[in-house]
Each structure stands twice: as C-alpha cells, then as structure tokens.
Structure 1
Amino acid sequence: MTQPITIIAEGLVRERHRAGLSLAEVARRAGIAKSTLSQLEAGTGNPSLETLWALCVALDIPFARLMEPQVNQMQVIRRGEGPTVTAELADYKAILLATCPPGARRDVYLLMTQPGSERLSSPHSLGSVEHIIIAQGRALVGLSGSPVELNVGDYISYPADQEHIFRALEPDTLAILVSEQN
C-alpha cells in the first residue's frame, strides 16, 4: 500500500508541473520555506494540515486532488462493451468510453496507417492520456512494454507520459486518436 506522504509528494510535483510553477513560486504563494516544499516533494517531510491547505490554495486545487493518487492506467474496451445508453425512439446506442477531467485539453486526430513501420512515441507531458478507437483494420497499440492488439471498434486509453507505440497490422488501418493534456 502506498504511504500517504508518497501520494502527497507525487501530487505536489504533478500539480506544480501542471500549473507551470517553480518550486520557489509555489513556496512563496503558500508562505512556506522552499526547503520545506522540496522535502515534501521528495516524500521526506511531515506536513501539517495547515501546510497542505496552504499548498492547495497556492496551486489552486481542491484538497482532495492532492490526496488522490494519479490513476493513469491502461484501459481497453472491446467493441460492444462499456456502459451503454439506448434511445427509445431510434435505433441508436451511445457507449461511454471516457470522460474528460476538469481543465483538460483534447485534440482529435484521424490516423491513417500501414503495416511495416511502427510509431514509437516518446513520453508526452506529465498527466497526458491518449485514447484510440480502431475504425478499420487491426493494430498493436499502447505502452511500449505491454501493447494490446486491437480490432475494429476496440478502444484503448493509456498514459501518454510513458513511451507508447502504434503499429498497423493490416493495410489501410484507420484509427481515431484523442490526445488529452491536463
């Protein structure tokens, strides 16, 4: 089980980077010593509740976000799976694949790919997530150490702040890519 100070340390680093602030600036805004914040981010400090609240105010985040571990996990939804809502007056189903966290930015791409050359991507910015749906063909997709074979209609999400891969397994493979940055 992860220790609370480890979760707090990871949360402080994550949220400070997300805000684009230096260690010195967050410490100044929170009214604490830069060395104290440095220790907390290293997971070696013992913060008081007041210090944590001051840091949350300085980072403009709710207290709960600092206490929640980052959940960037890979998720695969096969065609026809997932929470589904059906319309009463039409032959129409909506399957929820992913929700957007507050303050996130999403870019949508159509990927047109061929077998023979894989796309190995370096890690993107901290907290980035990619979502892919295969529209045509088959592909090997996901984290470079554990990619998943996807077929038409399959969905995957994975933390894009880790090295990841897309390899077409059939000619003219098409996919929808949604890139999410926090």
Structure 2
Amino acid sequence: MEMTESYHLAKNIKYMRLQRKYSQEQLARRADIPRTTLSNLESGTGNPSLRTLVSLAKGLRVSVEELLSPPHREVELIKKQDLPLEERGKVCITKILPEVRSGFAIDRVKIEARGRMKGAPHKVGTKEYLCPLKGSVTLFLEGDAYIVKAGDLLIFPGDHHHSYQNSGDSVVEFISIVSLPH
C-alpha cells in the first residue's frame, strides 16, 4: 500500500469513526477486527489485507473506495441562504452550525421590536452563552431578569426555564451558543 493511501485511510477511518461517535472498541466490534489493528490503521502504521478493508467498510457502511480516497477538505463554505432558517412570528433563528458538532449548537437569533422567544430547558449541565450583536435583549431566568447589551456576554445554565425579550423599538440580533455537557 502506498504511503498516500495509508495516510488517506488513517484520516478517513478516524474521521468517519468520530463522525459516527464510535469508540475504537465499538468500530472494531462492528467491523469484526481486533482493536489493535484498527488503532494501527488510524495511526497510519497498519498494512491491511483486502478482507480487513472490506470488513472496515462494512462496519462504517461505506465503500472501500471511500476509505482509500483523499479525505474531504476541512474547509467548508456554507452560503447564508443555505443555512437552516426557522421563523416563529417575531423571531428568526439561523443555525450557524447546521448540525450539532462536538456538543455545541450556535444560532444567530433576530427578534423584532417587542418580540419574545421562550427557550426550552436543555440537558442537565448545559451552559448557554448569549452575546447581542445589535440592540439589547432581556433574558428571564428562573424569575430574574438580565439586560444584555450589544458586545456583552451572558453565561447561564441552559437547563433552567428561560426566555428572551426585545423591549426595544428595533430589531435585536444576538448569537446563542449552547454547550452540552460531555
């Protein structure tokens, strides 16, 4: 096997395994290969047989060709119009990360004048970060009110009942980051 194919294989296996949230042990069981073999392949030091490649491809539900091809580029440009958008009355939420990655969700939220948005409590241990870009937003959390102005950052427990309110006469825009517990 050429050096470049070993490199591609190592990068692809690790990327696909992590993407599917498998541990090395889980993937080794799914592919019916020893974990040490998988570890060697991920480090780029293994020299797999065709049978091992086929087993690994089946375990990952991809083709052998996908395992050996150059990895996808790590740079991805997603145009504004292609980002998922959710509109709820006076609220517009754009998913900056189209899917939750590494336990983070990042949204750009716009609330029209006098608008309000109720937030749902997340999993216990979740932290939320609120950073207004334009205007100020009031966060209501368990009976307390916090006024957060453009450029400020409010960090709060995301596993409590909370809501966001725009008390102003113009649109407020903020970034909401949800960090799920590990």
TM bucket, shorter chain: 0.3 to 0.5
Q: Which has the higher contact order (CA 8 A, sep 6+)?
A: 1
Between Structure 1 and Structure 2, whose CA radius of gyration is higher? Answer: 2
Scaled by the length of structure 2, the TM-score of the pair is 0.42
Scaled by the length of structure 1, the TM-score of the pair is 0.42
